[in-house]
Structures are given as C-alpha cells and as structure tokens.
A and B are shown apart, each in its own frame.
Chain A
Amino acid sequence: MELTSYHFLLFILAVLILYYALSRVKGAQRYVIAAANVALICFMTRKTILILIVFLVLFVYFAGLLLDKAVKEKRKALSNLILYGALFFVVAYLCYFKFFKWTYELLQQTLALKGIGLVEWIFPIGLSYYTLTMCAYLLDISHKKHEAERNLIDFFAFVTFFPSLIEGPINLYRKLMPQIKEQHMINPDNLSEGFVRILWGYFKKLVIADRIGVLVIGILSDETAAGPLVFFAMVLYSFQIYADFSGGIDVVMGVARMMDIGLTENFKAPLLSVSVTEYWARWHMSLGEFMEKYIYYPIVLNRRIMKLSKKIKSTYYSKAFSAFLASVIVFVIVGIWHGTGWNYVVYGCYQAFFVGGAVLMGPVYKALLQKLHIQAKNPVWHIFVILRTFTVLTFGRYFIRAKDLTGAFELFARTFTSSAGKQTLLEKGLDVPGLIVMAIGILILIIADILAGNGIRIREKVLHMHILARFAFYMVTIVCIIVFGMYGGEFTGASFIYQGF
C-alpha cells in the first residue's frame, strides 16, 4: 500500500470513522492510533518488519524508564551510561539497516550454497525518522525536559504515529504526546482543512512531481543530452524533489489535521530562500530542528570547544570558528542520513561549505554590500539572491540525484560539455500538452510559495468560502488530480523520494 493509492485513502477513512466513533470513550483514541500504526506497518511492508520495529520501541521504552529513574535519583554516571548506551544502540540499529545491507547479502549467498534460503532484505519502514524521534526522547529525559512515558501503548502510538511513519516529520515527545493523550471531538473545520491539504499534497505529488520525474529521467537517461539541457533537467529535479517531498508531507499533515493533531511543519516556502543557511531553516524543518537542538548547539556551546575557540583573538571569529565546526559536523551527518555512499558525504560537505562559509565570510559580505551600495531589501537584488541560492542548491542536488559520486561527476561533466546533437525537450517522455501541464504545475508551486511567504494559505481561505464554492473547489481539484495525475506505466510514480532515505 502506497500513500498515493486508493487503499491508503480507504484506510484513512476507516481509521477516522473508528477514531471519532470512539471519541466519547475516554482514552480509546490512542488505542485506535496504535492499532492503525500496526495495520499500516503490516500493509506497507512485511509483517516481520513489525517485530523489528516493536523490538526497538520496547528497547527505548525501557531505556527511557531506567534513564528517568537514574536522573531523578541524581545518579549522573548511571544516567550517562544508560543515555549513551541507548543512543548508541538506536543509532547502530539505524546504521545497520542503512549501511550494512551487504553483510546480509553475504550471509544470504553463503547460506544459499548450503541450500538454506533467507527472505529478501527489507528496510524497516520509517526507521530514519522515528530513530531520531527516539534519540530526542532519550536526550530530553536526561535534560529533564519531560519524564519517561509509562504507558507502553501510548509510547508506541507516539513513536510510530502512522501518518508520519513514511517520510516524517520527525516528531518530538513534548509536542505530539499531549495531543495523543487528549480526547478529540469531530470538528468540521479540521476535516475540511485536512482534506484540502491532502488534495494539495496529491496534486503536488501526482500532477507536478511525477510528471517532472518522467522528463528528468527522459533527459538524464538520454546519453546524447548535454550542456544546458542537463542543467535544465537538474533545475526540474529541484522542483520535483520539492513537490514530491512537500506533497507527501501535506498528505501527512492533512491526515493528522483531520484527526485534530498538529505536527511540526516541515516547509516554509523554501523556494524563497535568500541563502543556503535560510534554505535549511525552511526545508525539512523537523530534521533541521533536531540537528540544531541536539547536535549544533551542544557542539558550539561545549566548554572544551569554547575554550579552544577563545584562542582566536578576534571576538567574531572565535564564535564563528565553533559555529563553522558545528555546521560541518551537522551537514556531514545530514548528508549521511540521506543515504549511503560518498556522494551523500560530499552533498553534506557541499552544504556545510556554504553555510559555514556564510558564517566565516559574514562581515566581509556585509562590508562588500555596503561598499557597492546594495540594499538587502532591494527587489532586484532580492530576486537575484533567490535565484543564486536556487542555482547553488540545484548544483548540490547533482550529488543526490546521481547513484554514486562518479555518477555525480559524470553529470557535472555532461553539464559542461556541448552536445553535437539537437537538444530538445520533446521525445523525452512528455508530449506538448504534458509539458504545458508541467510548466503550469511549477508555476502554481512557485505562486503557492510566494503566497505562503506572505502569510497567505489557500487552505485557510477555502475554509471561509461559501459551502457551494468550497464544494466546487474540492471537485475541480479532484478532477485535476484524476485527469492530470501520473499513474502507473513504466514510470513508477507511487513511491516518494524521501521514503527511500
């Protein structure tokens, strides 16, 4: 079952009916959530994966209880032992599934020689997301931000919360758990807002992202395509990955909203970013929040690192030094989190170069702007820096679009090679009407970001429409998704890019 399938919609409908049917039974909704989590894991993957997930949940649940006890008894050495031991286990669990597929394949081959067959390797669904939720949970207990959760069902409902199981957002205990424990009554506004958001998510995924995806594959797999056409394909890929990821997140947020649950927003009009630093504050915000809180600040404010940085005489650069160091570490981790392979490490370093570089070069940059009499709020300059940031990020995406580092460099080489053949967008998988729909889709994506950047949200406007206008809006959007959405065929548009990370 995929997020874009009608099975998923039927599943959500069944969950919502049960969820609100039991709204007057105290504490029943959390059991509905836990059951829905189990059901979704079983529907989307093999049932054995459920055992792997439950095992990890049980481990963190008991580690949390022990840690809480040690913290309350002020046994620092013991609490550190439990904390770091549990964190090591959780991270190792993630790393094993992310990086050590080959060990399983080796075992499979060895056993196959002896006539013993092993099931196919499968990555536990959502592991990259809820392992971070678990790490944050343990760290917050040790920092006395909250106590350990005593109810195992509630803990399971929170950690594997089914809407965010597939591609996040990364949930924090103190934000999500109080909502899971609450009783939620049916509210037409929540249902309407959630429904509009789900429609918008499907529109972005099926009409925009998957259509762009066909063209991107068409161009990049054509070996005669070179020069600006390859760069254009990567520009399209930037829009594709945004529509794909944010579309999926809109579906997730929409489902949660229909259940009267608010999750951490993952996007804040990232197309309008004026710098790579700002982009990371607007893109995949739940990952950014995690990295900032649990890795960046602890490194920068570490006493030893502060002592080391004070050796630098300049006040600004002594601060910039630790921030630069932390940025490099954070972005290398972000890179590796996205996938195995050196291309992801280089991707992280590439982001760190711009974010860290902005910190180090900040005063020089400001002085230069002043010297050139450039006002940061000048509209022409503003558009220029948005396009500059978009271009820098597009080049960065060469590293994640290619399957490995060599592939990324080949892609760069193709971009800077002129081709003898005729460079055309036609015969690359989309016909002229398809290209027009794609262009309109991208335009809608840009307009939506501009509106969101100015605090205007269509789904909130829809809420205040007359009932007939609202109904017409729903119907037009549904028809657009059905008519213009990309389904099946050679291009499997069903999976989300971030589902694979």
Chain B
Amino acid sequence: MQEKIMEILQSVRPDIDFAKEQALIDDGLLESFDVIQIMTTFMDEFDVYIDADDIEPENLNSFDAICAFLTQKIGS
C-alpha cells in the first residue's frame, strides 16, 4: 500500500520529496487543490470515504502520517 500511496503523491506533485518533508501542510508545500487531488485519488484507489474534517495537518504533514491516516481509515 505504501508504494501505491507514494505513487499517487508523486503523480500529483512530482517536485516534492515526500520521503523527506515533514511539514507538507504547515509549510504550505501542498496547496488545497493538491490535497483535493490526493484525497479523491485515495478514495478511488482504496475505496474509502474521506471527510472534510479528516483534512488536518497532523494527518497530512508527512508521508508516514498519510500512511497512518489511510491505514486507520481503511480499518475503520
């Protein structure tokens, strides 16, 4: 699943080093439309529903946080 997540992230923003960055939202690296593209692709790929109130910096600031968030979403 991690490879797939990385693939989606890089398809939206190939210029960002997702393995390294730790403040994707807090540092403003991801714009709101990037977040939308990423979230809607996750929804399609992993068959989960992501709510607007799931979009929190702590869920999206790093690759690890995104993986943990999605794992929890898929499991719930």
* Interface of A toward B, CB cutoff 8 Å: 143, 145, 268, 277-278, 281-282, 292-293, 296-298, 300-303, 306, 319-320, 322-323, 359, 362
Residue contact A301 to B33, C-beta cutoff 8 Å: no
Separation of A319 and B50 alpha carbons in the complex (Å): 14
Enumerate chain A residues within 8 angstroms of B55, measured Cβ to Cβ. 293, 297, 301
Q: Do residues A323 and B33 form an inter-chain contact, with CB atoms below 8 A?
A: yes
- Of the listed stretches B16-24, B36-44, B63-71, chain A binds B36-44
Q: Are B37 and A296 in contact (CB under 8 A)?
A: no
A301/B37 in contact, CB under 8 A: no
Contact A301 B32 (CB under 8 A): no
Additional 19 contacts, C-beta under 8 A, given A301-B39, A319-B33, A322-B36: A145-B53, A268-B28, A277-B31, A281-B28, A293-B55, A297-B35, A297-B52, A298-B52, A300-B36, A300-B52, A301-B36, A301-B52, A302-B52, A303-B49, A306-B40, A319-B36, A319-B40, A323-B36, A359-B33
Could you say which residues of chain A place their CB within 8 Å of the CB of B40? 301, 306, 319
In the assembled complex, 8 residue pairs joining A and B whose CB atoms fall closer than 8 Å, in A order, are A143-B53, A277-B31, A281-B28, A292-B32, A296-B32, A298-B52, A303-B49, A359-B33
Docked CA distance A441–B55 (Å):
40
Query: Which has the most chain B C-beta neighbours within 10 Å: A145, A282, A293, A297?
Result: A297
Report Cα–Cα, A243/B50, bound state, in Å: 40
Q: How far is the CA of A293 from the CA of B55 in the complex (A)?
A: 8
Instruction: List chain A residues, Cβ under 8 A from B33.
Output: 277, 319-320, 323, 359, 362
Docked complex Cα distance between A23 and B55 (Å)? 37
B51 is an interface residue with CB less than 8 A from chain A? yes
Residues of the A chain whose Cβ atoms lie less than 8 Å from the Cβ of B35: 297
Q: Which of B31, B39, B50 has the most CB of A within 10 A?
A: B31
A424 and B35 CA atoms in complex are apart in Å by 49
Distance in angstroms from A364 CB to nearest chain B CB is 15
Contacts of A322 in B (CB 8 A): 36
A278 to B32, CA, bound (A): 10
Looking across the interface, which residue of chain A has its beta carbon closest to that of B40? A319
Chain B 1-41 per-residue mask, 1 if CB under 8 angstroms from chain A, else 0: 00000000000000000000000000010011101110110
- Report chain A residues within 8 Å CB of B36: 297, 300-301, 319, 322-323
B31/A281 in contact, CB under 8 A? yes
Roughly how many angstroms separate A292 CA and B33 CA in the complex, as a whole number? 10
Verify A301–B28 contact, CB threshold 8 A.
no
| Smallest CB separation, B66 vs chain A (Å) | 16
Chain B residues, CB < 8 A from A296? 32
Q: Is the CB of A319 within 8 A of B53?
A: no
Most B-side CB within 10 Å, residue of A277, A281, A301, A359: A301
- Name the residue of chain A whose CB is nearest to the CB of B31: A277
Residue of B nearest to A316 (CB): B37
The docked-state distance in angstroms from the alpha carbon of A162 to that of B4 is 48
B50 touches A301 (CB 8 A): yes
**Residues in chain A near residue B37, CB distance under 8 A:** 319
- The residue in chain A whose Cβ has the minimal distance to the Cβ of B27 is A268
A441 to B21, CA, bound (A): 36
Q: How far is the CA of A478 from the CA of B57 in the complex (A)?
A: 39
**Complex Cα gap A281–B30 (Å):** 10
**Chain B residues whose CB sits within 8 angstroms of the CB of A292 once the complex forms:** 32
Closest CB in chain A relative to B38 CB, distance in Å: 10
Residue among B28, B32, B40, B50 with the most chain A CB within 10 A? B32
Which has the most chain B C-beta neighbours within 10 Å: A293, A300, A302, A303? Answer: A300
